[in-house]
């Protein structure tokens, strides 16, 4: 008896009935057989030992594909759980999915024990034994009640099974995590007897695993809920080969070298004095210089784009935040209050209420709209100590914040103009890969449906106009506003959230804002909140990591270093310095009091874009030797005037041009 299956390329293949996926793969090619870890049969992921049926569409999943790695990682997570339950009998094991680059597994050790870092070594050793034991993963299906018996004593597994059982009543719901087909569960059993609740698929033998490494132990709440028990999570990484694993570890090292906290220290840009308090950075001269270049540039472009500047204080009386509603719904994110002369003051967590007061300082006419207020506004937010992370997550941050007040019919064009402005500005900082997210009305929210629809469709219009790729995040909006969040990808592919753009449906009402329209009626303006960098501090961190500290010339605190070969070249070197200063560049003079090689090394470590070396030949010929960043091949005898001409386009950020409506 033969059956026929359809392969991924559309070709048909006849195989004996009873043939498994694995046999098919080996029949197609020896290497494919060896590299296969699972298959998609009629669109569903299945194990290698699945018996093929007549007419099945089969796509073999190999270990070096994204889906193949997921299978490897998931299977490695099972081996981890098996190793832990071997070493700590009676451990409760919870869930162990594959994640980007690896996997984790959550455990609750008996008697309140906790893993230490040393345990990782022991666990990893046990895992390697299990791998060598050539244990098979065998799938079987059970009813809910059988499942409850099978996992008696495993509270987390029982909870998952119960969830599955409840979903049987509501078949609409997609099943979670490890639960399987509605109404029944599937279980994988290793040859040692270890069982785990799992949807699969898995590799057929532990011998197919091995290129893995346990990375760290962390705490994690059961089902992500901080009111549920805290489990011990072990993170690991796993790959299709030792080579791929090694490459991943090298990438991690590279990422670590780009860590903005490390670069900030090395380049003397900023630090976090414990005397000031967690999450409160101080910027050293070079860091402050970079910041001010960013801010000056931003201000210039905002002015050109029709923004007016505002300046507002850092604290305000509680009444302001009562009106704005912050004390109602954002209090947990605010610094504690201060009492003074019978009034209660709070550091501001956002700038919007103060900008609204500027709007409200007088009657507004439709002729003034859109009114675009802009401020580098420093706000203070209480972030729990565990979440602080360098400049990317701080307690005092400066937003490049703006609030735009416009009439309803201006909303769509204003949003679209704004989004183009944001993307152009991000591009001049050398960031070019963006994705946007349109976050729509959440369940818990205020306002009328028609308002939400109007605002959301205006946001969507702006997204379409700008051409940016976007996804819709249903129900992820703020409770008072739908929003667009712009994410960007940095040089090594990490995603960061930067800009945010929100249409506020609440504040104009809370503050009873209005304007007089052309028909002499009073109307309520629309209000857009928007931050472009997000926070200057975070954006600074992103730039440092994106460029690994080697900022573009226009942002570099020192753009050119001038090094005389000997002391007696100092006079000419000084002329060079002065000439460069006249061309508006930032120059450092490095006197010949230590060897040239040593000074060059220092300048290279400081990531100075251009190192100019001047010696006898240069004094004679009015030239410079140019050692550019990123090159180890210096150029000799470049006329000074030519060098200045060459770098002048790099000295200032590119203007955005007109952002027209």
Partner RNA sequence: GCCCGGGUAGCUCAGUCGGUAGAGCAGCUCACUCGUAAUGAGCAGGUCAGGAGUUCAAAUCUCCUCUCGGGCUCCA
The span from the CA of 395 to the CA of 192, in Å, is 51
Nearer to RNA by Cβ, of 11 and 632: the residue is 632
Phi first, then psi: give them for residue 555, nearest 5 degrees.
-100, -10
The question of whether 406 is a catalytic residue gets the answer: no
Indicate which residue of 69, 157, 326, 403 is catalytic: 403
> CA 631 to CA 254: how far, in whole Å?
20
Q: How far is the CB of 357 from RNA (least distance, A)?
A: 22
Burial 452-469 (b: 16+ CB within 10 A, else e): bebbbebbbbbbeebebe
- Tell the smallest beta-carbon distance from residue 391 to RNA (Å): 8
Nearest-angstrom CA–CA distance, 88 and 311: 60
- For residue 78, indicate whether it is catalytic: no
The closest of 382, 402, 391 to 326, measured between CA atoms, is 382
- Active-site position among 381, 395, 530, 607: 381
Residue with token string 């402005």 = 421
Instruction: Give every strand in the sheet of 433-439, ordered side by side.
Output: 308-309, 371-380, 396-406, 526-531, 495-504, 483-489, 433-439, 470-473
403 noted as active-site residue = yes
Please give the helix or strand (H or E) that residue 370 lies within, else none.
none
Looking at the DSSP bridge assignments, the partners of residue 497 are 487
Token look-up 């409506």 returns 661
CB of 601 to RNA, least distance (A): 3
* Pairwise CA distance, residues 21 & 18, whole Å: 10
Our CB check for RNA shows the closer of 204 and 535 to be: 535
Which residue out of 302, 348, 483, 569 is catalytically annotated?
A: 483
Tell me whether strands 396-406 and 526-531 are parallel, antiparallel or unpaired: antiparallel
138 or 215, CB closer to RNA?
Answer: 215
Number of C-beta neighbours around residue 252 at 10 A: 13
From 35, 401, 485, 618, active-site residue = 401
Residues 253-268: b if buried by 16+ CB within 10 A, e if exposed: eeeeebebbebbeebe
Closest approach of RNA to the CB of residue 273, in Å: 9
8-state DSSP, 333 = G
CB of 169 to RNA, least distance (A): 26
Nearest to RNA of 432, 598 (CB atom): 598
Q: Give the residue with the Cβ less far from RNA, 109 or 138.
A: 109
What whole-number distance in Å separates Cα of residue 256 and Cα of residue 549? 12
Taking the complex as a whole, how short is the minimal distance between the CB of residue 354 and RNA, in angstroms?
A: 17
Comparing CB distances to RNA, the nearer of 158 and 596 is 596
Place of tokens 């009813």: 143
CA-angle at 341, arms to 335 and 342, nearest 5° = 75
Separation between Cα atoms, residue 456 and residue 568, nearest integer Å: 69
Tell me, rounded to whole angstroms, the distance of Cα 368 from its chain centroid: 38
Q: Please pick, among 35, 352, 502, 506, the residue that the annotation labels catalytic.
A: 352
Q: Are 387 and 393 in contact (CB under 8 A)?
A: yes
Indicate the residue among 8 and 591 with the shorter CB distance to RNA: 591
- Cα–Cα distance list, 139 to 187, 190, 195, 202, 204 (Å): 6, 9, 10, 9, 10
Based on the residue annotation, tell me whether 483 is a catalytic residue of this protein. yes
Q: How far is the CB of 228 from RNA (least distance, A)?
A: 9
Q: Could you give the C-alpha distances from 265 to 287, 549, 583, in angstroms and in order?
A: 10, 11, 30
CB of 134 vs RNA, minimal distance in Å: 32
Q: How far is the CB of 33 from RNA (least distance, A)?
A: 37
Question: Do 280 and 272 contact (CB within 8 A), yes or no?
Answer: yes
In terms of CB distance, is 190 or 398 closer to RNA? Answer: 398
371 versus 486: smaller Cβ distance to RNA: 486
**Shorter beta-carbon distance to RNA: residue 63 or 538:** 538
What residues contact residue 543 under an 8 Å CB cut-off, 6+ apart? 429, 551, 555
546 is catalytic: no
Cβ 327 to RNA shortest distance, Å: 17
Catalytic residue among 73, 302, 529, 538: 529
Catalytic residues: 352, 381, 399, 401, 403, 483, 529
């Amino acid at each position: 008896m033969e059956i026929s299956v359809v392969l991924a390329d559309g070709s048909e293949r006849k195989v004996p009935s009873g043939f498994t996926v694995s046999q098919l793969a080996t029949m197609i090619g020896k290497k494919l057989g060896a590299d296969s870890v699972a298959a998609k049969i009629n669109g569903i992921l299945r194990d290698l030992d699945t018996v093929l049926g007549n007419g099945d569409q089969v796509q073999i999943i190999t270990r070096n594909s994204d889906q193949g790695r997921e299978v490897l990682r998931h299977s490695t997570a099972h081996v981890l759980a098996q190793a832990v339950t071997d070493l700590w009998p009676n451990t409760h094991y919870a869930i162990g999915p594959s994640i980007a680059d690896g996997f984790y597994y959550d455990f609750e050790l008996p008697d309140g024990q906790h893993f230490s870092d040393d345990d990782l070594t022991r666990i990893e050793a046990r895992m390697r034994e299990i791998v060598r034991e050539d244990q098979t993963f065998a799938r079987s299906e059970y009813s809910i009640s059988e499942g409850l018996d099978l996992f008696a004593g495993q509270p987390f597994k029982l909870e998952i099974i119960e969830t599955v059982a409840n979903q049987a009543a509501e078949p609409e719901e997609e099943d979670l995590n490890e639960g399987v087909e509605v109404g029944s569960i599937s279980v994988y059993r290793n040859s040692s007897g270890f069982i785990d609740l799992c949807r699969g698929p898995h590799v057929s033998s532990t011998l197919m695993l091995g290129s893995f490494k346990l990375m760290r132990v962390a705490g994690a709440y059961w089902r992500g809920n901080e009111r549920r028990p805290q489990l011990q999570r072990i993170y690991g990484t796993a790959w299709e080969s030792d080579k791929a694993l090694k490459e991943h570890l090298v990438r991690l090292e590279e990422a670590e070298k780009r860590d903005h906290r490390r670069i900030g220290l090395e380049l003397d840009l900023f630090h976090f004095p414990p005397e000031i308090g967690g999450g409160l950075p101080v910027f050293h001269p070079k860091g402050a210089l970079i910041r001010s270049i960013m801010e000056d540039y931003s201000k210039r472009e905002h002015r050109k784009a029709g923004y007016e500047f505002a300046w507002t204080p850092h604290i305000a009386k509680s009444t302001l935040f009562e009106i704005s509603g912050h004390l109602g719904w954002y209090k947990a994110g605010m610094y504690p209050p201060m009492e003074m002369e019978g009034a209660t003051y709070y550091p501001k967590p956002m700038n919007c209420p103060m900008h609204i007061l500027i709007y409200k300082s007088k009657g507004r006419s439709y002729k003034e709209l859109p009114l675009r207020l802009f401020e580098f506004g420093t706000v203070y937010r209480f972030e729990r100590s565990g979440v602080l992370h360098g400049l990317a997550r701080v307690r005092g941050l400066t937003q490049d914040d703006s609030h735009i007040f416009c009439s309803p019919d201006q909303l769509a064009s204003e949003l679209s103009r704004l989004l183009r402005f944001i993307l152009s500005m991000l591009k001049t900082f050398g960031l070019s890969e963006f994705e946007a997210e349109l976050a729509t009305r959440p369940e818990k929210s205020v306002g009328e449906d028609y308002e939400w629809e109007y605002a959301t469709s205006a946001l969507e219009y702006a997204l379409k106009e700008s051409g940016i790729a976007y996804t819709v995040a249903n129900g992820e909006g703020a409770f008072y506003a739908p929003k667009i969040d712009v994410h960007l990808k940095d040089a090594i592919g990490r995603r960061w959230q930067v800009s945010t753009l929100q249409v506020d449906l609440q504040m104009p009402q809370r503050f009873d804002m209005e304007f007089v329209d052309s028909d002499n009626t009073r109307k309520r303006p629309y209000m857009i909140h928007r931050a472009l960098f997000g926070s200057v501090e975070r954006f600074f961190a992103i730039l440092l990591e994106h460029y690994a500290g080697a900022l573009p010339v226009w942002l570099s605190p020192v753009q050119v270093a001038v090094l005389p070969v000997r002391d007696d070249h100092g006079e000419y070197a000084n002329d060079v310095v002065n000439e460069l200063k006249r061309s508006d560049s930032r120059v450092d003079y490095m006197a010949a009091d230590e060897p040239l090689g040593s000074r060059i090394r220092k300048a290279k470590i400081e990531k100075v874009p251009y190192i100019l070396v001047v010696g006898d030949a240069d004094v004679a010929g009015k030239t410079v030797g140019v050692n550019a960043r990123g090159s180890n091949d210096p150029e000799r005898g470049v006329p000074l005037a030519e060098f200045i001409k060459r770098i002048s386009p790099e000295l200032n950020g590119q203007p955005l041009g007109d952002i027209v409506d």
